[in-house]
Amino acid sequence: MPTLTNKRVLLGITGGIAAYKCAELSRLLIKAGAEVRVVMTRAAREFVTPLTMQALTGNRVHLDLLDADAEAAMGHIELARWADLVLVAPASADFLARAAAGRADDLLTTLLLATSASVAVAPAMNQGMWSDPATRRNLDALQARAWRVFGPAEGDQACGDVGPGRMLEPAELLESCAGLFAGEPLAGRHLLITGGPTREAIDPVRFLSNHSSGKMAYALAAEAAAAGARVSLVSGPVALPAPERVARIDVVSAEQMRAAVLERIGDADVFIGVAAVADYRPAQAAVEKMKKNEREMRLELVRNPDIISEVAGLAERPFVVGFAAETADLLANGREKLERKGLDLLFANDATGTFDSDEVAATAIFAGGELEIPRSRKEAAARKMLALIAERLPAAAAST
């Protein structure tokens, strides 16, 4: 099944009878995991109403370049930056001519000049117009700008002619769009990531915790989502905003983290344990704030569940990736954890200079090998880590 998980598709609709197929097209794009926003030319509105497209996509339809309200909500440059793919369907002969000339005389042509997203057009017109040398020249000019052309198909036309010029069917357009991203190794995979610290309550105002900021986990989540994965991030208390396109589940304690993970592990292709989970918790959290009358205070601690070991021990388990922050014997301790916890891959990093830092240096440890990831910003390191994970993933059907 074609997937567009987490992809942002800007659907440009121009004036042509095939515009009615955009209702089905937007439905299929959304079903494949894409977020869809629609831009309609004036002529398109003669064939399908903005209200229909708004109801189907759940987003306000963008119509005019010079609309102050719309610009305030999401300006045309913002819209151009937002998209991963601009698909113009149907693309009329007039639109192709204006785009080929580099015109910016309406919202759609303007944002197409501004965007760095992939652009694809699905031409739809009378067979004579399609075969006209002017249309051929316009298409050549657009393809020279790396625009993709999907179709058209041949067959009976609305005007009674027979020949090339029919817009491809919505299902065929979906296949073509998904094909543009199919090379992305994490496309359509579900990644479940834990991040941040856990807090283990001593009493209503005190807790045991650690210095994890969540930066490493959030960088991995953001980069995985940008690479087309569906990402669930089970996060301990951190001060970071949820990355775009990521489903964040907030937890506090190790036991809550375990429950949130086990609830979602069923369809995960990859589990990455980045969280610095507290190994112990107070045996009993006091109900009332504890008084400091005594010179000494003793806390009885009990072991927390080892979440990653539990995931690695599941009969139907995802690809399991751990982290280890060590202050000494990084590689030996990392490999020991990889083997003891039954992991597929582990990133060992130096605890000093990693907790709450924007940068990380890590060593990937796996059966039969090791690989250095030199110190860099966590986002850049995350991309390398995800590439290593992707190349080790068993080839399986994507989960969405």
List the catalytic residues: 159
How far apart are the C-alpha atoms of 104 and 12, rounded to whole Å? 14
Q: Are 381 and 350 in contact (CB under 8 A)?
A: no
Report in angstroms how near the CB of residue 262 gets to ligand PMT at its nearest: 12
255 binds ligand PMT (CB under 6 A): no
- Do the beta carbons of residue 241 and residue 219 sit within 8 Å? no
Q: Which residue is nearest to ligand PMT (CB)?
A: 273
From the CB of 263, what's the least distance to ligand PMT, in Å?
A: 15
Q: How far is the CB of 319 from ligand PMT (least distance, A)?
A: 13
Amino acid residing at 267 = D
Using DSSP, state whether 69 is helix, strand or coil. Answer: helix
Candidates 26-34, 99-107, 109-117, 210-218; binding stretch for ligand PMT (CB under 6 A):
210-218
Specify burial of residue 133 (Cβ count, 10 A radius: 0-12, 13-18, 19+): exposed
Nearer to ligand PMT, 145 or 211 (CB): 211
- The rounded distance, in Å, linking the Cα atoms of 141 and 39 is 23
Binding residues among 296-315 for ligand PMT as defined by CB under 6 A: 304, 306-308
One DSSP character per residue, 37-62 reads EEEE-TGGGGTS-HHHHHHHHSSPPB
Q: Is the dihedral of CA 90, 94, 95, 96 positive or negative?
A: positive
Find the binder of ligand PMT among 277, 338, 385, 390 (CB under 6 A): 277
- State yes or no: residue 271 binds ligand PMT (CB under 6 A): no
Fill in the per-residue mask, 333 to 372: x = in contact with ligand PMT (CB under 6 A), - = not in contact. Answer: ----x-----------x----xxx----------------
Q: Considering beta carbons, is residue 78 or 356 the nearer one to ligand PMT? A: 356
For CA atoms 159, 160, 163, 166, the dihedral sign is positive
Q: Does 276 bind ligand PMT (CB under 6 A)?
A: yes
Smallest separation, CB 310 to ligand PMT (Å): 8
Lookup: tokens for 348: 């060992």
| Chain residues that interact with ligand PMT, rule: CB under 6 A | 194, 212-216, 254, 273-277, 279, 304, 306-308, 322-325, 337, 349, 354-356
